[in-house]
Amino acid sequence: MDEARDDARGRPAAARVQRQQARTTERREAVLKAAMNVFGARGYNKGALVEVAEQAGMTHAGVLHHFGSKEGLLVAMLKYRDGEEVAGVPARAQTEGPAFLQHLVDTVEENTHRRGVVQAYSVLSGESVTDGHPAHDYFQQRFRGLRAKIAGVLGEVSGNTDEGELNDAASALIAIMDGLQVQWLLDPDAIDMPRILSRTIDELVDRLERSRP
């Protein structure tokens, strides 16, 4: 009998905790999306936390409560963009193996409907090369990891085992993707990013297959 009463009292309490956690996650995700809009439009240095807070529907102090600092918010926003788990917001499923090449094309297709996401990435990756930029380490590690992953997949698909050639091909593919995004932002009607990327991948794989040691 006592156990039944304890359980009855506990269930509403547990439900309240779950609702509170869900609300906290929603607030944090709203801040991350607002940060993407603000930093994408104005860059990191000119993007103001006050504007992020306004777009997210909370106070400046509320943003700092969840992310600690402007720098902390920037890094969290970049990880959120890449689908990583951050600030309690669940990670998105990651694609591995040969399917990753088609995933790149699919992501580019999605990005044609997410101009703000593309703009934020392009602006911040360009800014990150400047001395002391808080996103420098993030982008450096991101490119290293992405190069290694693409090189591994290209090797798996083509049968080529030349590490130098695979690394060069991965670097070229990343450069093409990022360069296409800048051109698309400036003249979207002239640039078909998914088509160009798909053709580029096919050409790279074909060349790697023909040059197998």
Per-residue pLDDT, averaged over 108-134, amounts to: 89
H or E, element range at 154:
helix 136-158
| Confidence class for position 187, pLDDT limits 50, 70, 90 | very high
Mean of the per-residue pLDDT values of the chain: 88
Q: Which residue has the higher pLDDT, 67 or 1?
A: 67
- CB-CB contact of 177 with 104 (8 Å): yes
* CB burial of residue 60 (10 Å; 0-12, 13-18, 19+): middle
Going by C-alpha positions, the residue among 68, 50, 48 that lies closest to residue 59 is 50
- pLDDT tier at 5 (50, 70, 90 boundaries)? very low
Residue 99 near residue 156, CB atoms below 8 Å = no
Of the two residues 9 and 108, the one the predictor is more confident about is 108
pLDDT digits (tens, 9 = 90+) for 40-67: 788 888 889 999 999 999 999 989 998 8
70-81 and 49-56 are packed helices; what angle lies between their axes, rounded to 10 degrees? 50
Question: In the structure, what pLDDT confidence band is assigned to residue 74 with cuts at 50, 70 and 90?
Answer: confident
Output the pTM of the full model: 0.77
Give pLDDT, residue 98.
Answer: 94
Predicted pLDDT at 17: 67
Q: How confident is the model at residue 153 (pLDDT cuts 50, 70, 90)?
A: very high
pLDDT tens digits for 194-211?
999 999 999 999 999 999
pLDDT at residue 160 greater than cutoff 90? yes
The pLDDT value given to residue 172: 97
Q: 157 near 99, Cβ under 8 Å?
A: no
Q: What is the pLDDT of residue 22?
A: 75
Residue 175: burial class (beta carbons within 10 Å; 0-12, 13-18, 19+): exposed
| Residue 93 pLDDT greater than 50, yes or no | yes
Q: pLDDT over 70 for what percent of the chain? A: 92
CA angle, 205 as apex, 199 and 210 as ends, to 5°?
A: 125
User: For residues 189 and 198, what is the distance between their CA atoms, to the nearest angstrom?
Assistant: 18
Q: Cα separation of 208 and 154, whole Å?
A: 8
Token code pair at residue 95 = 């694609």
